[in-house]
Amino acid sequence: MSAFAMIPLTLRALRQRFLLLFAFAGAFLLAAFSARALSGAGDHVELDRIFELGGPTLGAAYIVIGWLVGRFPLLVTLVLLAGVFSHDRHTGTARILLARPVSPVALHGVRFLALTFTAFLLAALLLPLFDFVMLGRWAGPATFVLIAANVIAYGGLIALLSSLTRADAWIALLLTILAITWNALRTVGMLDALPPGGRQFVTLILPPHGSLLALEAAFGNLEPIPWNAFTDVCIYGASMLALGLFLFHRSEH
């Protein structure tokens, strides 16, 4: 398909973003290696030892780093897919491409797939490496399922937002924070007073944080992968992508 011809150029145009992500990943790995060195011998990092050495400040720093690295699939997806449709439209490149006899859905669908796959690869390289340094073992294929779930959910969301606005990644980030908050409130029953229909609607619209948490918990506890949660995430991502491509196809360029 001729739409694949644009993939190398698409990735090339994101060179600076790749450098940024590599720098970020490098910082995480450096932190992991330094933690390993600080905690002394053994095949994994002992957080107690870190606390002994640097007090609560250092311990908290490493906990935050650990939490952040768990968000790396989200981060890499936001960075790489920001402007996936909207940037071309804003700069006029979309018109130059779409003047050719090519389907806009194919052209932008292929671009979306290329970018999500690249985001998956980057995260799939960093996360196991980080786990290996910090924990001394590989967490198993659940790592990849967790990464794929993040990339699919947030990639689809950015695709939809990108068909509407240039601030796609920022709005996706905002919705992510909202989803985390919403899910926490819902879990503890603080939203029970709201009408069930409205509550379900908001839950449906926001990123599927509950399902992502289920996958993360299974990953952290080395439990079997909850495939129903993964399916929910896939349905959400695919719906968002389909709606995004439809709106992009219909909209002015």
Residue 1, C-beta contacts closer than 8 angstroms, at least 6 positions apart: 106, 110
| Beta carbon nearer to another protein, 104 or 237 | 104
Vertex 1 angle, CA 9 and 77, to 5°? 50
- To another protein, the closest distance from the beta carbon of 116 in angstroms equals 19
Residue numbers at the binding site for another protein (CB under 8 A): 2-3, 5-6, 8-9, 12-13, 15, 91-93, 95-104, 107, 252-253
- To another protein, the closest distance from the beta carbon of 13 in angstroms equals 4
| Beta carbon nearer to another protein, 58 or 98 | 98
| Beta carbon nearer to another protein, 91 or 165 | 91
- To another protein, the closest distance from the beta carbon of 87 in angstroms equals 9
- To another protein, the closest distance from the beta carbon of 253 in angstroms equals 5
Residue 86, C-beta contacts closer than 8 angstroms, at least 6 positions apart: 162, 163, 164, 165, 166, 168
Of 115, 88, 110, the closest CA to residue 99 belongs to: 88
Residue 193, C-beta contacts closer than 8 angstroms, at least 6 positions apart: none
| Beta carbon nearer to another protein, 92 or 136 | 92
- To another protein, the closest distance from the beta carbon of 6 in angstroms equals 5
- To another protein, the closest distance from the beta carbon of 185 in angstroms equals 33
| Beta carbon nearer to another protein, 104 or 156 | 104
CA–CA gap between residue 203 and residue 23 (Å, rounded): 35
User: Which residue type, as a one-letter code, is found at position 22?
Assistant: F
Of 65, 76, 64, 68, the closest CA to residue 172 belongs to: 76
| Beta carbon nearer to another protein, 71 or 90 | 90
Tokens, residue 189: 């029953």
DSSP one-letter code for 194: S
